[in-house]
């Protein structure tokens, strides 16, 4: 049983940019709105039933000069059109909307929202302005308003696939998987091979408890888009629910940050508006989260051309290169980031990930330690440190680090599992029994933690740690329907401990047959040693 080493690169969300500055007096009023305009904003957002709020241009101090020029130019265009009685509503909508896009790209969310509301009021039948509003509300955490706008977009343009996908995701987030699945089925009729739609149906089915249907659609999504590595987690959970623990563990280990492909013309039209490092970073981050690694790297490089000493951009370029498969170039970027900012914990962590993946565990340990010294609560770095310590043979240090991770983040099943395995390898069997009993309270029914506890109760060399009757009762309660090799082996251990050797032999033979069928000949040979013990009427005394 493995310690579930976490060696894949993690992608972190980019914190919203902070913008300081005083509001200036110049504002754009709602002059010229008709009565229908005043109600066009609809929903629960600002402006419902009234004219949209004026667009107050924020202070631009601190922005790059090129960005200031773009914002002022868009603002001036709106002022000119709004003051011209002959301006058409469509032209005004485009001007307001264009201003909103630039303001949002620069991080001025409130002013951007007001600009979009004006655009929507002047073009109530256009889907693009409520669509941009919906995404802005997502960015600012206004989930209810985002849901309302996505509904409006779908009502205006029921054939726009990205809006349907986003609406389905919103319903999933709201805990409404049946409604989400209905919307995804509507999207599937438009594009049967869309990986985002297939994934949505799979995740909705998983949320409803239909693991078999979830596996069908999630596997189809991955077949269409192998780069959608974020789906590995959902597949792992689905296979776990089906009792196929080996497949579950395999997928959970492979989980990544790649989202299913979803071409989105409206969002693509909004990119490239600002020639600033911040805008390039945001574009790169969006591409990275969508699994478009080459596009992400290009955006980060464009940002670095403007601000070559930005360690965050250097680091994110390294992440993109690593995910594209160029570990050497990624390491060079991480080192460059540290040359500028030696205390940059993320770069130390990322170098640790690269080194661990290459089997250079002692060097990886040094990098992870550097990361946690600079950020003591850095859970991913502590997990990487614990895994690398274990792989380097420093079991006592690894055990202590896994315990620290579980203390910081009790939800980390990997930390509970990792410490359990390390304690067994250290021969501290009574301690591991108590630790895994605690794990049952934090992660009730977790199949891998339950399996490990059963093995300790049934096969620990220390008689004081064993409890065959407790193991048998727990096994009968928790392992029903599980068909993995690992669970077959665990069942055999438990039956042998309580003297039911005939059943132990039967289950061990099933484990061996399953291993042979899976093409795992070395494992099958290893399982044969315990089979011989059971056939001789002797229990196992090796939990792992």
Q: Which domain holds residue 216?
A: 158-275
Pairing of strands 55-56, 27-28: antiparallel
Check whether residue 248 and residue 168 sit in a common domain. yes
Q: Is the pLDDT of residue 3 over 70?
A: no
In a domain, 118, yes or no: yes
Annotate 131-178 with DSSP letters as a single string.
HHHHHHHHHTT-HHHHHHHHHHHHHH-TT-HHHHHHHHHHHHHTT-HH
Check whether residue 131 and residue 169 sit in a common domain. no
pLDDT band at 310 (very low <50, low <70, confident <90, very high): confident
Give the end of a domain, one of 226, 246, 275. 275
Check whether residue 2 and residue 68 sit in a common domain. yes
Check whether residue 229 and residue 114 sit in a common domain. no
Check whether residue 186 and residue 220 sit in a common domain. yes
Distance of CA 436 to the CA centre of its chain: 27
In a domain, 410, yes or no: no
- What is the SS3 assignment for 409? coil
How high is the pLDDT of residue 47?
A: 43
In a domain, 66, yes or no: yes
In a domain, 328, yes or no: no
Distance CA 373, CA 465 (A): 36
Check whether residue 2 and residue 114 sit in a common domain. yes
Span 107-130, average pLDDT: 93
Span 338-353, average pLDDT: 94
Check whether residue 180 and residue 65 sit in a common domain. no
Neighbour tally for 48: CB within 10 Å: 15
Span 368-388, average pLDDT: 94
Into how many domains does the chain fold?
A: 3
Residue of 188, 145, 150 whose CA lies nearest to 169: 150
Tokens of 375: 């950020």
* 250-285 pLDDT tens trace: 888 887 778 898 988 888 777 656 666 777 787 788
How high is the pLDDT of residue 27?
A: 38
In a domain, 542, yes or no: yes
Give the end of a domain, one of 112, 140, 168. 140
* DSSP code at position 462: S
Q: Is the pLDDT of residue 8 over 70?
A: no
Cα first-last separation, the chain: 6
Cβ(228)–Cβ(234) under 8 Å? no
What is the CATH classification number for the domain harbouring 271? 1.25.40.10
How high is the pLDDT of residue 37?
A: 35
In a domain, 131, yes or no: yes
Check whether residue 90 and residue 175 sit in a common domain. no
Distance CA 477, CA 203 (A): 28
Check whether residue 162 and residue 135 sit in a common domain. no
Distance CA 42, CA 156 (A): 13
Distance CA 143, CA 174 (A): 9
Span 367-390, average pLDDT: 94
Span 20-42, average pLDDT: 32
Check whether residue 98 and residue 162 sit in a common domain. no
Estimate the share of the chain in helix, then strand, then coil, as percent rounded to the nearest 5: 70, 0, 30
Across 65-99, b (16+ Cβ under 10 Å) vs e yields: eebeebbeebbebbbebbeeeeeebeebbbbbbbb
What secondary structure, in 3-state letters, does 61-127 show? CCCCHHHHHHHHHHHHHHHHHHCCCCCCHHHHHHHHHHHHHHHHHCCCHHHHHHHHHHHHHHCCCCC
Check whether residue 270 and residue 173 sit in a common domain. yes
Span 340-363, average pLDDT: 94
Check whether residue 136 and residue 173 sit in a common domain. no
Distance CA 450, CA 1 (A): 12
Give the end of a domain, one of 240, 275, 310. 275
In a domain, 282, yes or no: no
């Amino acid at each position: 049983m493995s310690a579930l080493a976490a060696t894949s690169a993690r992608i972190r969300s980019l914190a919203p940019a902070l913008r300081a500055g005083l509001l200036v007096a110049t504002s754009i009023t709602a002059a010229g709105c008709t009565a229908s305009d005043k109600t066009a904003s609809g929903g629960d957002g600002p402006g419902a039933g009234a004219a949209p709020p004026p667009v107050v241009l924020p202070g631009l101090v601190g922005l790059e000069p090129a960005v200031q020029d773009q914002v002022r130019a868009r603002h001036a265009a709106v002022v000119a059109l709004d003051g011209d009685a002959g301006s058409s509503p469509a032209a005004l909508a485009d001007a307001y909307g264009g201003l909103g896009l630039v303001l949002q790209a620069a991080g001025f969310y409130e002013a951007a929202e007001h600009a979009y509301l004006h655009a929507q009021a002047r073009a109530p039948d256009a889907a693009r302005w409520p669509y941009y509003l919906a995404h802005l509300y997502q960015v600012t955490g206004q989930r209810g308003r985002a849901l309302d706008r996505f509904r409006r977009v779908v009502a205006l343009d029921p054939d726009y696939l990205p809006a349907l996908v986003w609406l389905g995701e919103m319903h999933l987030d709201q805990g409404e998987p049946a409604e989400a699945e209905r919307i995804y089925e509507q999207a599937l009729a438009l594009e049967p091979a869309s990986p985002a739609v297939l994934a949505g149906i799979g995740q909705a089915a998983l949320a409803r408890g239909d693991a078999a249907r979830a596996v069908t659609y999630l596997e189809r999504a991955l077949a269409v888009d192998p780069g959608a590595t974020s789906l590995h987690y959902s597949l792992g959970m689905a296979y776990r629910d089906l009792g196929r623990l080996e497949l579950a563990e395999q997928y959970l280990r492979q989980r990544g940050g790649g989202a299913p492909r979803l071409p989105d013309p409206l969002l693509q039209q909004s990119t490239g508006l600002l020639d600033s490092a911040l805008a390039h970073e945001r574009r790169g981050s969006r591409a990275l989260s969508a699994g478009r690694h080459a596009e992400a790297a290009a955006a980060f490089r464009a940002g670095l051309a403007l601000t070559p000493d930005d360690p965050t951009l250097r680091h994110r370029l390294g992440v993109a290169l690593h995910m594209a498969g160029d570990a050497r170039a990624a390491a060079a970027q991480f080192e460059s980031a540290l040359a500028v900012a030696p205390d940059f914990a993320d770069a130390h962590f990322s170098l640790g990930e690269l080194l661990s993946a290459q089997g250079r565990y002692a060097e990886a340990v040094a990098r992870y330690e550097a990361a946690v010294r600079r950020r003591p609560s850095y859970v991913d770095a502590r997990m990487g440190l614990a895994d690398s310590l274990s792989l380097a043979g420093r079991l006592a240090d690894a055990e202590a680090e896994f315990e620290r991770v579980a203390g910081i983040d009790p939800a980390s099943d990997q930390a509970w599992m990792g410490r359990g395995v390390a304690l067994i390898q250290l021969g501290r069997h009574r301690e591991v029994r108590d630790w895994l009993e605690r794990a049952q309270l934090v992660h009730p029914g977790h199949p891998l933690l339950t399996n490990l506890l059963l093995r300790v109760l049934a096969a620990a060399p220390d008689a004081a740690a064993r409890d065959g009757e407790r193991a048998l009762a727990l096994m009968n309660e928790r392992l029903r329907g599980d068909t993995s090799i690992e669970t077959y082996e665990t069942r055999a251990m438990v039956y042998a401990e309580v003297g039911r050797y005939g059943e132990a032999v039967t289950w061990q033979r099933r484990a061996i047959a399953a291993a042979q069928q899976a093409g795992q000949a070395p494992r099958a040979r290893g399982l044969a040693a315990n089979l011989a013990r059971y056939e001789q009427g002797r229990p196992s005394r090796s939990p792992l």
